[in-house]
Every structure is written in C-alpha cells, then in structure tokens.
Amino acid sequence: MRASRVAASYGARVAIAECGRFGGTCVNVGCIPKKLFAYAAHYREDFEVAKSFGWTLGEPRFDWQTLLANKDREIARLNGVYENLLATAGVAILRARATVVDPHTVEVAGRRYTARHILVATGSWPQVPSIPGRERAITSNEAFFLETLPRRALVVGGGYIALEFASIFNGLGVETTLAYRGPRLLRGFDPDLGGRIAEELRKKGIDVRLRANPAKLEEGIRVTYEDAAVQEVDLVLFATGRKPNTANLGLESAGVRLDADGTVAVNEYSASSVPSIHAIGDVTNRLNLTPVATAEGMSLAKTLFLGEPTRVDHVNVPTALFSDPNVATVGLAEDQARTQLGRIDVYQTAFRALKHTLGGHSERTFMKLVVDAASQRVVGAHMIGPGAGEIIQGVASAVRLGATKAQFDATIGIHPTAAEEFVTMRDKVPS
C-alpha cells in the first residue's frame, strides 16, 4: 500500500491487486489486533495493582465476545481507511489474486495488465510442523477469531508471536503453557533477554517449558512431546515460523530467483534477478517488521519514479515484543558485539518499578547497554518492562546517531521514570 500511494504521488500510473482485506498481516492478523488483545489481557493485573493504591473494585469479569466485536469493528474501519487512501491517491484497485505471466505482465481475474515495473509484496503465512495430528492445531491467524476462549492452551514457539499469545491467553484467564524446543527463549536476541523474560512469564503463572517439542497431537487434545511427556489441553497454537507467499505466483517461470526458503532474492534496492520485478516486506525475509516493509516501499518508489536510488538501512532497527512484560531492543546483542567488536563494556540494571512497590508485585524491569570499548559508542540497548517499546523508540535515535556512553551519562533523566535508568547506569558489569 505504501509503495503504491507514494509511487502514485510521484506521477506513476499504479494498480494494486488484493484478494483479501487491505492492511496485510499487520492490520488484519498481526500488529494491530495483537496489541489490542495485549491491552485487554493486561487489565487483570491492573485491577490487582489498583487495590494497593486504595481502589476497591467488584469482581472483574471478562467477556471475550465483546473484545472480538470491538476488535473486528476497528479492523474494518482501518480496512476502509486504507482502501480510501489508495483510491484518493489515484491507485487502481483490482480485487482479485494476481499472478506474474512474464517480466512485464500480470494476470488478475482472467485479464492481463502490462507494466514497466512489477512489485511483489505478498508477505508470509504461518506454518505448522508436519507432525501427526497437526490439523488439530491453530496458528496466530485463527487465534484472532476464536469463538470461545479455551480453558487450557499450549503455545508452541519461542519468538515474538509465541510470547505475545502466551501472555494474552494467560492475562485473559486461560491456563497457559509455553513450550519451546530450544534452551532459551528469544533466539537471536540478547542472551539476557531470553532468560529473564522466561522468569517473568513464570511469575505471571505461565508454565514455560524449554527443550520441549510436541511430537504428535491426538484427540482431546492430547499432546505427546519428543521426550514422551504427555499433556492434555483444549487448544494448541503453533508459532513456529512463517513461510513467504511465493507459491503459484508465476515468479519462477518469469525468471525470478527464489532462495531455498522460498523468499524472493533481492539486492539492496529491492530488485529481483529480473530487473523489472521487485519485492519488499516479509516476502524477502530481510527484517519481518511492518515499519521496515513500509520504508522499503517508500525507498523503492523514490528509486523507480524520482530517479533517486534509495536503499533502506537495515542496521539498528528497533523492535518490540508486546508480551507481558514488554521486551524491546535496538542494536547489537552482547554476544554479537563481542564477535564484531572484540572488547566491549556492558552496563545493566534490574529493579522493581515504583508502581509495584505498594502491592508487593515481584515483576522486575531489566535494562542493558552494550558499549564499544574502543569508541565508547553505545551499540546496543535492551529492555524488559512496562512501556519498553515506547522507551526504546527514543533510545534508538541515540544509538543510530552514534551517541557515546558519556553522552548518555550527560543526559539528565526524568525522575521518577524507568527510562531515566538508561542515562544513570554507571557501573560496568564485570567481564
């Protein structure tokens, strides 16, 4: 959508083919409904915390159908907003699935269209492992439309979607298990984040099982793990990876090279092996984040229609998980920094937020800075705690601009906030 609107604003004649609802994964079965569900799930704890501040409440009662109806209404509103933005920009809307015929031809609903440039932005789709009984499981796609909440849920995976849905189910009163085949959650993130978030999830009541991988699902639903352990649940959600939507698009026959995992291979300007065919977003598997995809779309429009070759810098992109508590990060993890830079300094802190001091809640906020010892540049910032995404968004600007630890230290903090800890950490963690 972003590429279409921006290209049209530059004077290009643009058509967009969409067989579903506008907004892609993010608006329909991703970021937006997920964040709405995360808000809903957090209220249970907020009600508990309120008691320590003198508020007396009746017994809170949650209604799943109300949340679903309000979520659906908001998503439908956004679908309309996006379609209207495209129409207003002069983009021709083709409401059907498109396939590529050749480097300059696309077929939509039996009609062929020619174009100087073709853009593939078909995203990705969640995958379920090929185990016996896999048809009994759901993915995040279906989780947004459950008719009723389960009493017991198993979420399988150790990344963004798994942690977020485990937190959502748990917060809404579901007896929740989070199972991950690896030794630590959040593979690829800073090592401290995976270990510490597991501790916090357990405090919230989630049964976190590491080195646990379902081998089969039987009627009931009876889950048998690879180590022969057995568990009975009412719902299994697999959040174990996504596959790019490149099947049966005609890309290979048009000469487009796909990588082994099915992603479209592109250069730094999002061009595929066929010069007239480009690809952006999750279908390229560079960084599967909505803001990255929209940035790629804008850059491509500039490259093709303004004559300004523009590429997206995929370094120091901030990201957040809206688990409970939130996790957010920007820059290098500690292990990555040691490999790339050699000698580094690490600063970190963990504390109980002021909000939790009156009620005795044990949730702890964690913050960490990774610093290049030679230049003293802050090359990584990591956080677990309420509002982590909001805080790291600001810190990301400093990291991207190459701020040094001394410049962080010289910044006066806002007191009392959690964010001020990023500018008050003074003691290095022993190497």
Q: Letter for the amino acid at 275?
A: P
Phi, psi of 15 (to 5 degrees): -125, 145
C-beta pairs of 93-98 under 8 Å, 24+ apart in sequence: 93/15, 93/16, 93/18, 94/15, 94/16, 94/17, 94/18, 95/18, 95/19, 96/17, 96/19, 97/17, 97/19, 98/17, 98/249
pLDDT of residue 136: 98
User: Does residue 401 belong to any structural domain of this protein?
Assistant: yes
Kindly provide the residue ranges of all beta strands, DSSP E only, lying in 9-91, ordered along the sequence: 15-17
Residues of the chain with pLDDT under 50: none
358 and 209 in a common domain: no
pLDDT of residue 41: 98
pLDDT of residue 6: 98
173 and 39 in a common domain: no
27 and 104 in a common domain: yes
3-state secondary structure of 109: coil
User: Does residue 74 belong to any structural domain of this protein?
Assistant: yes
368 and 227 in a common domain: no
User: Does residue 265 belong to any structural domain of this protein?
Assistant: yes
121 and 12 in a common domain: yes
pLDDT of residue 360: 81
For the question of whether the overall pTM of this predicted structure is more than 0.95, the answer is yes
pLDDT of residue 220: 95
Per-residue pLDDT of 43-89, as tens digits, reads 999 999 999 999 998 899 999 999 999 999 999 999 999 999 999 99
* Structural domain of 35: 2-125+243-305
115 and 31 in a common domain: yes
Distance CA 300, CA 375 (A): 34
Distance CA 142, CA 235 (A): 11
> DSSP character for 40?
H
Distance CA 307, CA 36 (A): 40
167 and 39 in a common domain: no
> DSSP character for 427?
P
CA triple 35-40-41, angle to 5 deg: 95
Q: How far is CA 127 from CA 167, 222, 284, 393, in A?
A: 21, 20, 17, 30
User: Which residues neighbour 147 within 8 Å (Cβ) at sequence distance 6 or greater?
Assistant: none
User: Does residue 142 belong to any structural domain of this protein?
Assistant: yes
8 and 151 in a common domain: no
Exposed / middle / buried, residue 99 (Cβ in 10 Å: 0-12, 13-18, 19+): middle
Per-residue pLDDT of 179-212, as tens digits, reads 999 999 999 999 999 999 999 999 999 999 999 9
> Which CATH number belongs to the domain containing residue 189 in this structure?
3.50.50.60
Our count of domains for the chain comes to 3
> Which CATH number belongs to the domain containing residue 366 in this structure?
3.30.390.30
Distance CA 300, CA 391 (A): 30
- As annotated, the active-site residues are 415
pLDDT of residue 236: 98
